[in-house]
Amino acid sequence: MHGPKALLMTLLALPLLAADFSGAAALELTRKVVAFGPRPPGSPAIKKLQAFIEAHARQRGCQIIEDAFRAATPVGPIPMKNIICKFSGTSGRAVVLTGHYDSKLFPGRRFVGANDSGSSTGILLEFARALAGRTHPDDIYLVWFDGEEAIAEWTATDSLYGSRHLAERWANEGMLSRIKAFVNLDMIGDRDLGIMQNTEGSPQLNQLIWRIAKDLGYGKYFLNTGGAVEDDHAPFFRRGVNAVDLIDFDYGPQNSYWHTEQDTMDKLSAHSFQVVGDIMMELIRRLST
């Protein structure tokens, strides 16, 4: 047996390795992120958060790469910045974990976005600690995307500003062909965790992640139902990258906490961060062998 299927079967058979990841630390980092308040692109709050992310990542030995640009939005140009943390390997290949750190703008409302986007910001910050000081055969990239949320209403041009920009940049730089796996994380802190199967993504990579969840005893949190959700993985997946999106898109009764003032820290749990963190650390290990 040869090709992608044979590789997948080999990866599935590898033994497990305990992950050095703390869900409690990820939750506390998310709390610090949320304390900045609403964080829409171009706001004073998001600029403070950008400095916080970069300072934290540098302390963990990351090479910081800033991907700054001006986005054309329905309300005019807005400065945005993707923040990239790179842990260098030697194989010439790369594994990429991403999430967005901007929060949706709701004029006249105080939307702090604890789960959307606090949880993705916080878990990536904890990955920077958990990955620091390790030997990595592959380059490991952590990417905090700006501008995931629509400024007005979600359209092909009013959404995913940061990921669309980086996908184009990396395509021009020849980076996309180096990526073994690309996993976007969104709304993963919900204490009632249920990761849906996003059908817009790589079936093989989804299968591997679901298998790891089962192997680690976390299978009940990874659902057999889902559908297509457009998220920050999409600009990469559409360019042929082995990319998936892990998202819990059933947040509160009938998704009633999503994009409301009820998206607060009390709705999150350290255990949910631990589940996702352990699985991603094990994914990186299996992909590196």
Q: Would you say how long the chain is, in residues? A: 289
On the question of pLDDT at 257 being above 90, the answer is yes
% of the chain surpassing 90 pLDDT: 92
- Average pLDDT, integer, range 134-142: 95
Assess whether pLDDT exceeds 50 at residue 12. no
Question: What average pLDDT does range 35-45 have in this prediction?
Answer: 98
Residue 229's pLDDT band, with cuts at 50, 70 and 90, is very high
Model confidence at 64, pLDDT cuts 50, 70, 90, reads very high
Other C-beta atoms lying within 10 Å of the C-beta of residue 151: 21
Q: Is domain 17-287 in CATH 3.40.630.10, yes or no?
A: yes
The sign of the dihedral angle between the CA atoms of 107, 108, 109, 112 is positive
Catalytic residue of the set 186, 190, 232, 250: 186
Dump pLDDT digits (tens) for 259-285.
999 999 999 999 999 999 999 999 999
177's CB contacts (< 8 A; 6+ apart) are none
pLDDT recorded at residue 289: 80
Confidence (pLDDT) at 15: 37
User: Mean pLDDT across the stretch 250-265?
Assistant: 98
- The C-alpha atoms of residue 279 and residue 281 are separated, in whole angstroms, by 5
Domain ranges of the chain: 17-287
pLDDT of residue 13: 42
The 10s digit of each residue's pLDDT in 154-170 is: 999 999 999 999 999 99
Give residues with Cβ within 8 angstroms of 163, minimum separation 6: 98, 100, 145, 148, 184, 232, 233, 234, 235, 236
Model confidence at 17, in pLDDT bands (50, 70, 90)? very low
pLDDT, tens digit, for every residue of 185-218? Answer: 999 999 999 999 999 999 999 999 999 999 999 9
pLDDT band at 14 (very low <50, low <70, confident <90, very high): very low
- Active-site annotation holds for 148: yes
The secondary structure of residue 137, as a DSSP letter, is S
| Catalytic site residue from 67, 148, 149, 232 | 148
For 227, residues 6+ apart whose C-beta sits below 8 A from its C-beta are 196, 198, 199
Nearest to 143 by CA among 216, 198, 89, 84: 84
Query: What pTM does this model have?
Result: 0.93
4 has pLDDT over 90:
no
